[in-house]
Amino acid sequence: MVIKSDKTVEKVFQIEIVETLSNLVEISAENEQEALLKAQELYRNEEVVLYPDDLIDTKFNIFKYD
């Protein structure tokens, strides 16, 4: 004899949401390394700020979590 059950077993999952923001900034410098350092400093000092309008991609990664 088989007894059917209407109950479904729900599992818990972790979903990682990754947003990528992007903005082009013009930097005057003698070389690429100096330009990168200047850009990083501007970003860290919040002189360059990325906003929701700068969103270029959203990814969803699923992880099973029991």
pLDDT tens readout for residues 7-52: 788 888 999 999 999 999 999 999 999 999 999 999 999 999 999 9
Strand, helix or coil at 66? coil
Residue 39: which of 59, 24, 52, 51 has the closest Cα? 24
- Tell me what pLDDT residue 7 has: 79
Q: Is the pTM of this model over 0.75?
A: no
- Tell me what pLDDT residue 65 has: 76
The CA distances from residue 43 to 6, 11, 14, 15, 21, in Å, are 55, 41, 31, 28, 13
Q: Apex CA 55: angle with CA 28 and CA 64, to 5°?
A: 125
Write the pLDDT tens digit of every residue in 48-64.
999 999 999 999 999 87
Per DSSP (E only), the strands in the chain are 12-21, 55-65
